[in-house]
């Protein structure tokens, strides 16, 4: 059975992917939602790697460009890595700050952070060990290659026809996300005319983990409204 259209929901890199799908394959997307990641207008004259230099909080992405350097740092102690990455908005002030600016200058993302980091209350020990087990063999090279392929993706995007995102769309911002700032989503309404907004002021970056009830309330309310207006889902015949 072929499903002709889907409703897509993404977070962080997943958010970038669902916006791309909505732009370049709109016939397959019924509605689209992103947590934290806005749809940013692409500049045909300025590759992403160049633009990143103008936004200090994205310096970590420039650090990720050199193969091997970030892998070595992130894979050195996987438990420490995930303890550093995962923290809730409520824990921001009580934990050693993870700065994504100035990473290249100081020689690493974790430089200056203590060796012993406490596990976030939103991350169970079972969750932590699952992440460790998934990265123990494969490491970080493939995830980091997403960052290293940005210029190639940018070239592809400008080789393809695209338009505005016209289907129903939802943008959920988080007030305590230190990198994907809510302000980055300003101006999105020009690119996404049928945009609904949600905001969770006390959420950090990991919105669906940090504030699951609030996130689900926003998503479910929007999904019900979108699908009520669209009517029942239709299925293509099995090929």
Query: Known catalytic residues?
Result: 12, 147, 205
Helix axes 150-157, 141-148, angle to 10 degrees: 50
Using a 10 angstrom Cβ sphere, with 0-12 exposed, 13-18 middle and 19 or more buried, the burial of residue 8 is buried
Q: Is the dihedral of CA 100, 178, 11, 182 positive or negative?
A: negative
Distance separating alpha carbons of residues 34 and 184, to the nearest angstrom: 13
What Cα–Cα distance (Å) separates residue 32 from each residue in 36, 67, 69, 160?
13, 33, 35, 20
Helices then strands, counting H and E runs in the chain, come out as 12, 4
């Amino acid at each position: 059975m072929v499903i002709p259209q889907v409703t897509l929901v993404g977070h962080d890199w997943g958010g970038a992917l669902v916006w791309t799908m909505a732009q370049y394959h709109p016939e397959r997307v019924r509605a689209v939602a992103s947590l934290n990641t806005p749809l940013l207008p692409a500049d045909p004259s300025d590759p992403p790697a160049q633009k990143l230099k103008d936004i200090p909080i994205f310096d970590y992405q420039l650090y990720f460009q050199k193969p091997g350097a970030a892998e070595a740092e992130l894979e050195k102690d996987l438990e420490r890595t995930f303890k550093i990455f995962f923290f809730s908005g409520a824990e921001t002030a009580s934990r050693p700050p993870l700065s994504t600016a100035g990473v290249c200058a100081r020689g690493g993302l974790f430089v200056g952070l203590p060796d012993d980091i406490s596990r976030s209350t939103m991350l169970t020990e079972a969750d932590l060990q699952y992440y460790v087990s998934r990265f123990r063999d494969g490491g970080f090279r493939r995830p980091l290659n997403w960052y290293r392929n940005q210029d190639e993706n940018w070239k592809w995007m400008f080789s393809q026809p695209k338009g505005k995102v016209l289907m129903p769309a939802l943008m959920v911002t988080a007030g305590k996300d230190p990198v994907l700032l809510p302000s980055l989503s300003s101006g999105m309404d020009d690119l996404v005319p049928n945009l609904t907004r949600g905001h969770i002021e006390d959420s950090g970056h990991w919105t669906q983990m940090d504030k699951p009830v609030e996130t689900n309330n926003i998503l479910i309310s929007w999904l019900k409204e979108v699908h009520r207006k669209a009517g029942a889902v239709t299925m293509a015949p099995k090929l």
